[in-house]
Amino acid sequence: MIALLGENGAGKTTLMNILFGHYVADEGAVEAFGKRLPPGDPRAALDTGIGMVHQHFTLADNMTVLENIALGTQGMWSWKLDRVGARERIEKMSFEFGLAVDPEASVGSLSVGERQRVEILKALYRDARILILDEPTAVLTPAETEALFATLKLLVAQGLSIIFISHKLNEVMAVSNRVLVLRSGRLAGERVTADTNRGELAALMVGQEVEPAPVPPSEPGPLQLVLNAISTQKRGSGVSLDRISLSLLGGEITGLAGVSGNGQAALAALIAGVEVPTSGEIIVRGTTARDWSPRAALAAGIARIPEDRHAVGTIGDMSVTENVIAERYRTPRFSSRGFLDWKASRAFAEEIIADYDVKCPSPEARIRLLSGGNMQKLILGRALDPQPSVILANQPTRGLDVGAVGYVHRKLLEARGRGAAILLISEDLEEILALSDRIIVISKGQLSPPSARGQRSVAQLGQLMAGHGMETA
Amino acid sequence: MEALDILLTASFWVAAIRIASPLIFATMGELICERAGVLNLGIEGIMTAGAFAGWFTVYAGGDLWTGVLVAALAGAMFGLLHATLTVPLGLSQHVVGIGVTLLATSLTYFTYRLLLPEVTSPPKIEPFQPLAIPGLSSIPVVGEALFTQTPLTYLAFLAVALTAWVLYRTPLGLAIRAAGENPSAVEAQGISVTTIRMGAVMAGSALMAVGGAFLTMSAFNSFFFEMINGRGWICIALVVFGSWRPGKALIGAILFAAFDAYQVRLQQITGGVVPYQIFLMMPYALSILALILVARRATYPKALMIPYQKGER
Amino acid sequence: MRLEPKPAPALVVALLYPIAAIVLTLAFTSLLVLAAGASPFSVFYLVWRGAAGSQFALLETLTRATPLIFTGLAVAVAFRAKLWNIGAEAQLYIGGVVTVVLGTGLLPLPSFLLIPIIMIAAMAAGALLLLGPAVLKTRFGVDEVVTTLLLNFIVLLFVSMLLEGPLKDPMGLGWPQSSKVIAEAQLARIIHGKRLHYGFAMAIVSAFIVWIVMKKTVLGYEMRAVGHNPQAAAYAGIPVNRVLMKTALLSGGLAALAGFCEVSGLKGNLTLDLSPGYGYSGIVVAMLAMLNPIGVVASAIFVAGIFVGADAMSRSAGVPSYIADVMVATALLTMVVAILFTRFRLRWK
């Protein structure tokens, strides 16, 4: 089992997508079992015995497990899908490898862990000899992760090769035989797992032995935002909030740790004003909010850094100027009597570009053309410019390179120094540990009581993330 | 109760099934397109083109089934145009669909005028004749309604069975359904989303065109302008009403046609007390109503109207 | 094959794309002309002469462009916010209905009062007609394309019912047509004795106003944001549904003005052939103009010229006048491809 280790944005997924034929490399070629693979042809990769479990599952929710697995495995022009044969094979395989799943269940009704099992079965069903798993544990609880590792070890014992993509050092150390470290699209090093240690790998990942940015002790200020016994509506398969309470103090970073898909999205949507609570109160600096909406949240001084910069944070086909004023175009600074002040807007865009070191051709450029890091800097500038008293930072560094990550962290700490209350939502426990003054764990829509910096060990946090001892913690 | 007695007569149901036939073809066509993730608003124009192509083939001396085939081919060609613009190029399915409808309609009218410059009243052909299925057609009402139709109506029912079989029982159907739900699932299994979607749009468009041809070759015997008269748009509503399932859409089409046949008879009974336009409005109003009723709980194919690019997630 | 975003090209280069689209359209229609046994060059020349070859032709083109500017603006406004209003035809007819209801003697007022009142009433009626589908879209998730399309048929039947019932002209010899509007409700002719009326001037002014709204106002900004990315717009605090409602009101009102102008300025009464598909042609007009309100004026004149010119050509050259509809539809499709390639490039791997 090879682990492919690297920071977010180091090029791990890109490399695997080239290997699998989703992308075409500008140079070089892929060779498997002594055969050169034609570029850009997933079919050829599959036929050679390469299987891939994508980070975002590639399953059709409207079809059954069996149908998803059988998709593309039988002659396209056959008049009848061989269900019986497929079913037998799936049942046999799921028994052999401990991947329990009902072949007739609709995929839309499965849990995340089950879906992942279907993805692995899909690859095995096609006789994969090399299995690529892209960040397979990001969506799993620690217990599910353990089960996955057991399965993977079983597969390796049967002669499969596995490429395990991760940015989590402990997982890499736990399961792999060999580690390849990627950094900014380059191979930074290759080690035998048994002969290396976390420190060395971490150094390879980030380039030099980096001391985490020194975090000065916080000076807690007054209560800025209180959520009191809030519940939200259940939407589809997402996790909703159930009577949660949360207090954010000024001058503090509160870190929200948890496995992806445990209600972070609902909580972020709530604070951002997109989601309206079904019960409970939102209290901003002592005043209970009446109508809750994105506009109300903004008016209450809440700055929002959304998780998805492309779909939610920016309007790709509009200009930088039009994007930076999106949250404040109705204020007297940017419009009066229904007319926009383009001069002031453009000046504001130029100010943000300069202050936040955004690289872009001009304020008139469509924001779609900016890189992820520059886009995030613009969003950061837009959010922080009005000196907000509360900052919601949802996965603010996902997919950014190391430099941009450091920049975002510095800006958040600056805002903290100014007295802002910051809620940092991240799936990256190391980020949470590095920045947070207090840590809260979210699991199945429930919040743990907060713990001060260093109060809980990583193991204790892991237990909470798995939902163990939430009541007593 | 004269108004209710109508529902028990065989001739009423014969008419209803006849009215349903073109809708069944076109609804299946649209359903296939949408199941693959493409909204095909070219339907109205493609039906027009099919109506003319089939009719003209026979008028020019071809045999009836050749006419059906020519109509299907014409439909597939417009489907290819629609698919090229909406699938690999990912253009707005709304705008392209309207464009295809405008193009197919105007090309048809142009060709009609070009080929038949002199005619004042539309020339007639010898259309498909009813073909009673021995035995089955003597079952009272139901048998008569279903089994004294023209061969094209039987083909319409066959098209439903075939669509349902392909979608749910064949490997190809899996790929089509997955393409409309999560195209990346299709690509991850080594199948080209572009090919599946384009193929589905072409096949679906061929069915729409046959639906149009039914009007000129089975229901009537000539081609005239504006004869599709919004049937295509109604089929789009029928697909939603049928929750993208062939069987349910079939029931929807028959219910709709029964209502349409009923309003014609009701018009005769009421004898001009109510303006006839009110009756003619009903099919359209009914379609809107059906959309409102089902829209809330409709489970759209999730990737409907969302273009897909290779390697995109 | 992939599409990659690319920076906006320089203005001169950007103009090459629509020109290419028009060349492609002409090439395709040339084939049809050849099939009709005529020479493309002489046919295109005849179309040109029929559209702009004389004062009469030019005025006729501008007269025909008037309703197209209004429906084109209606579509441009709606499509900008991705509200797919395919119902301009119905909104146009409703505008016509209001004009004859109020303009045939019901309100005995002088022109300077009567005309604004009718205009406002017509706009309100058209706006309300589109508000229905907009509400169904935002409240129930019903696709507005289908509802607006179906409403076209319903409204036309409704008009037919009125013309055979309450609005029927008692002097009309049984034809389904309304009485003529009174002199006070008529728009004056711009040049005495010619058909071009002040509706054309109103159309130009409307285009300019819409341009200001789209470019300079908060509403225009909101409409564009909602059209490009409703999710991000909502996140930023833009009231998406309310913006869609306002868009619907504006779009429906503009389309209704087309009906008002045709009745008040040109025809004098309401008939079932008030519009030969101006509502649908408005889609082409708007797309050819890349949804730019000022561009709508130019493209409406262009499209009107094709129709007027083709009518004249068809009489002398024997090529069916439907060639105009083919040209216009082809132009729509080639133009959307052209617009795509101003923003994206194809990579063949």
List, for residues B192-241, the tens digit of each pLDDT value. 999 999 999 999 999 999 999 999 999 999 999 999 999 999 999 999 99
Against chain B, the chains showing at least 3 CB pairs within 8 Å are A, C
Least confident of A279-283, A319-323, C189-193, C297-301: C189-193
At residue A28 the predicted structure's pLDDT band, cuts being 50, 70 and 90, is confident
The mean pLDDT of chain B is: 92
Distance in angstroms (rounded) separating the CA atoms of residues C23 and C331: 9
- Chain B positions in Cβ-Cβ contact with residue A17 (cut-off 8 Å): 311
Sole residue written with tokens 């290759």? A190
| Bigger pLDDT: A16 vs A71 | A71
Look at residue A53 and give its three-state secondary structure. strand
Query: How many H-runs (helices) and E-runs (strands) does chain B carry?
Result: 13, 0
A2-206 and A223-465 in the same fold? yes
pLDDT of residue A471: 61
pLDDT of residue A473: 47
- Chain B residue with Cα closest to C38: B114
Whether the CB-CB separation of A91 and A164 falls below 8 Å is answered with no
Sort strands A223-231 and A279-284 into parallel, antiparallel or unpaired: antiparallel
Residues 6 or more apart whose Cβ sits within 8 Å of residue A108: A61, A62, A237
CB neighbour class for C107 (10 Å; exposed up to 12, middle 13-18, buried from 19): middle
- Chain B positions in Cβ-Cβ contact with residue C337 (cut-off 8 Å): 85, 89, 91
pLDDT of residue B23: 97
The percentage of chain C sitting over the pLDDT mark of 70, rounded to a whole number, equals 99
The percentage of chain A sitting over the pLDDT mark of 90, rounded to a whole number, equals 47
Provide mean pLDDT across the span B142-160: 91
Provide mean pLDDT across the span C98-117: 93
Distance in angstroms (rounded) separating the CA atoms of residues B21 and B215: 9
Residue of B306, B284, B309 lying closest to B94 (CA atoms)? B306
pLDDT of residue B299: 81
Q: Cβ contact (<8 Å) for B175 and A23? A: no
Whether the CB of B288 is below 8 Å from some CB of chain C: the reply is yes
Q: Cβ contact (<8 Å) for B181 and A63? A: yes
As for the ipTM of the complex, it is 0.93
At residue A9 the predicted structure's pLDDT band, cuts being 50, 70 and 90, is low
Sign of the torsion formed by the C-alpha atoms of C58, C61, C67 and C70: negative
Nearest residue, CB atoms, C232 vs list A24, A311, A365: A311
pLDDT of residue C244: 97
The percentage of chain C sitting over the pLDDT mark of 90, rounded to a whole number, equals 81
Q: At what angle do helices C293-317 and C40-52 cross, to 10 degrees?
A: 120
- Chain C positions in Cβ-Cβ contact with residue A327 (cut-off 8 Å): 236-237
Q: Cβ contact (<8 Å) for C326 and B107? A: yes
Distance in angstroms (rounded) separating the CA atoms of residues B247 and C215: 49
Q: Cβ contact (<8 Å) for B85 and C336? A: yes
pLDDT of residue C218: 97
Distance in angstroms (rounded) separating the CA atoms of residues C290 and C335: 8
List, for residues C310-324, the tens digit of each pLDDT value. 999 998 888 999 999
List, for residues C124-145, the tens digit of each pLDDT value. 999 999 999 999 999 998 989 9
Residues listed for chain A:
473
Residue A302 pLDDT exceeds 80: yes
pLDDT of residue A8: 66
H helices present in A188-311, as ranges: 198-206, 264-272, 294-299
- Tokens in use for B102? 């405008």
Sole residue written with tokens 């739900």? B181
Q: Cβ contact (<8 Å) for A52 and B188? A: yes
Sole residue written with tokens 């469509």? A366
Provide mean pLDDT across the span C162-180: 88
Nearest residue, CB atoms, A71 vs list B178, B310, B313: B178
Distance in angstroms (rounded) separating the CA atoms of residues B225 and B187: 43
Residues 6 or more apart whose Cβ sits within 8 Å of residue A101: A65, A94, A110, A114, A117, A118, A121
Whether the CB of B103 is below 8 Å from some CB of chain C: the reply is yes
Least confident of B295-299, C165-169, C253-257: B295-299
CB neighbour class for A126 (10 Å; exposed up to 12, middle 13-18, buried from 19): middle
Q: Cβ contact (<8 Å) for B233 and C35? A: no
Whether the CB-CB separation of C133 and C148 falls below 8 Å is answered with yes
Residue of A165, A88, A175, A95 lying closest to A131 (CA atoms)? A165
CB neighbour class for A33 (10 Å; exposed up to 12, middle 13-18, buried from 19): exposed
Sort strands A130-134 and A161-166 into parallel, antiparallel or unpaired: parallel
Using H for helix, E for strand and C for coil, what is the string for A263-294?
CHHHHHHHHHCCCCCCEEEEEECCEECCCCCH
pLDDT of residue C114: 96
Q: Give Cα B182 distance to the centre of its chain.
A: 26
Give the H or E element holding residue C188.
Answer: none
Q: Cβ contact (<8 Å) for A314 and C216? A: no
Residue B313 pLDDT exceeds 60: no
Query: How near does any CA of chain B get to the CA of A15, in Å?
Result: 13
Distance in angstroms (rounded) separating the CA atoms of residues A433 and A168: 14
Residue of C181, C282, B91, B168 lying closest to A63 (CA atoms)? B168
pLDDT of residue A458: 77
- Chain B positions in Cβ-Cβ contact with residue C1 (cut-off 8 Å): 88, 310
pLDDT of residue B36: 97
Beta-carbon contacts below 8 Å between A and C: 75
Against chain C, the chains showing at least 3 CB pairs within 8 Å are A, B
Least confident of A77-91, A168-182, A290-304, B145-159: A168-182
Residue of A327, A317, A302 lying closest to A379 (CA atoms)? A327
Query: How near does any CA of chain B get to the CA of A184, in Å?
Result: 21
Distance in angstroms (rounded) separating the CA atoms of residues C327 and C186: 34
Q: Cβ contact (<8 Å) for C149 and B233? A: yes
Using H for helix, E for strand and C for coil, what is the string for C155-201?
HHHHHHHHHHCCCECCCCCCCCEECCCCHHHCCCECCCCCCCEHHHH
Residue A214 pLDDT exceeds 80: no
Nearest residue, CB atoms, B106 vs list C161, C164, C329: C329
Domain boundaries, given as residue ranges, for chain C = 82-280
Q: Cβ contact (<8 Å) for A58 and B170? A: no
Distance in angstroms (rounded) separating the CA atoms of residues B217 and B50: 10
At residue A21 the predicted structure's pLDDT band, cuts being 50, 70 and 90, is confident
**What 8-state DSSP symbol labels residue A106?**
B
Q: What b/e sequence results for A268-298 when a residue is b if at least 16 CB atoms lie within 10 Å of its CB, and e otherwise?
A: bbbbbbbbebeebebbbeeeebeebbbbbbb
Nearest residue, CB atoms, B313 vs list A43, A54, A59: A54
Sort strands A2-6 and A161-166 into parallel, antiparallel or unpaired: parallel
Interface of A with C (CB under 8 A): 24, 39-40, 272-274, 293-295, 297-298, 304, 306, 311-318, 322, 326-327, 329-330, 335, 338-340, 342, 361, 365-366, 368-369
Tell whether domain A2-206 is in CATH 3.40.50.2300.
no
**What 8-state DSSP symbol labels residue C52?**
H
Distance in angstroms (rounded) separating the CA atoms of residues A269 and A271: 6
Query: How many H-runs (helices) and E-runs (strands) does chain A carry?
Result: 16, 21
Q: Cβ contact (<8 Å) for B89 and C284? A: no
Residue B86 pLDDT exceeds 50: yes
List, for residues C19-42, the tens digit of each pLDDT value. 899 999 999 999 999 999 999 999
Distance in angstroms (rounded) separating the CA atoms of residues C70 and C78: 12
Residue A138 pLDDT exceeds 80: no
At residue A23 the predicted structure's pLDDT band, cuts being 50, 70 and 90, is confident
The CATH homologous superfamily to which domain A223-465 belongs is P-loop containing nucleotide triphosphate hydrolases (3.40.50.300)
Domain boundaries, given as residue ranges, for chain A = 2-206, 223-465
Sole residue written with tokens 């240690």? A197
Q: Cβ contact (<8 Å) for C337 and B310? A: no
The mean pLDDT of chain A is: 88
- As a CATH number, domain B15-116+150-295 is 1.10.3470.10
Distance in angstroms (rounded) separating the CA atoms of residues B179 and B301: 9
Provide the chain C residues 217-246 that lie in CB contact (below 8 A) with chain A.
217-219, 221, 224-225, 228-229, 231-239
Residue C26: how many other CB atoms lie within 10 Å? 16
Q: What is the largest CA-CA distance in chain B?
A: 64
Whether the CB of C165 is below 8 Å from some CB of chain A: the reply is no
Residue B312 pLDDT exceeds 60: no
Distance in angstroms (rounded) separating the CA atoms of residues C291 and C306: 20
| Bigger pLDDT: A2 vs A205 | A2
Domain boundaries, given as residue ranges, for chain B = 15-116+150-295
pLDDT of residue A187: 87
**What 8-state DSSP symbol labels residue A129?**
S
Provide mean pLDDT across the span C226-253: 96
Look at residue C196 and give its three-state secondary structure. coil
Distance in angstroms (rounded) separating the CA atoms of residues A458 and A430: 9
- Chain C positions in Cβ-Cβ contact with residue A24 (cut-off 8 Å): 349
- Chain B positions in Cβ-Cβ contact with residue C150 (cut-off 8 Å): 230, 233-234, 237, 284-285, 287-288
Determine which of C6, C218, C231 to mutate to test the interface with A (most A C-beta atoms within 10 Å): C218
Side-chain-side CA neighbours of B233 within 13 Å: the count stands at: 26
Sign of the torsion formed by the C-alpha atoms of C304, C308, C311 and C314: negative
Residue A159 pLDDT exceeds 50: yes
Residue B182 pLDDT exceeds 60: yes
Provide mean pLDDT across the span C263-274: 94
Residue A209 pLDDT exceeds 50: no
Residue A184 pLDDT exceeds 80: no
Provide mean pLDDT across the span A321-348: 95
Whether the CB of B278 is below 8 Å from some CB of chain C: the reply is yes
Residue B93: how many other CB atoms lie within 10 Å? 26
Whether the CB-CB separation of B109 and C322 falls below 8 Å is answered with yes
Distance in angstroms (rounded) separating the CA atoms of residues A92 and A82: 16
Nearest residue, CB atoms, B109 vs list C35, C36, C325: C325
- Tokens in use for B222? 């000539």
Look at residue A410 and give its three-state secondary structure. helix
Whether the CB of C3 is below 8 Å from some CB of chain A: the reply is no
Distance in angstroms (rounded) separating the CA atoms of residues C211 and A336: 18
- Chain C positions in Cβ-Cβ contact with residue A343 (cut-off 8 Å): none
Whether the CB-CB separation of B41 and B175 falls below 8 Å is answered with no
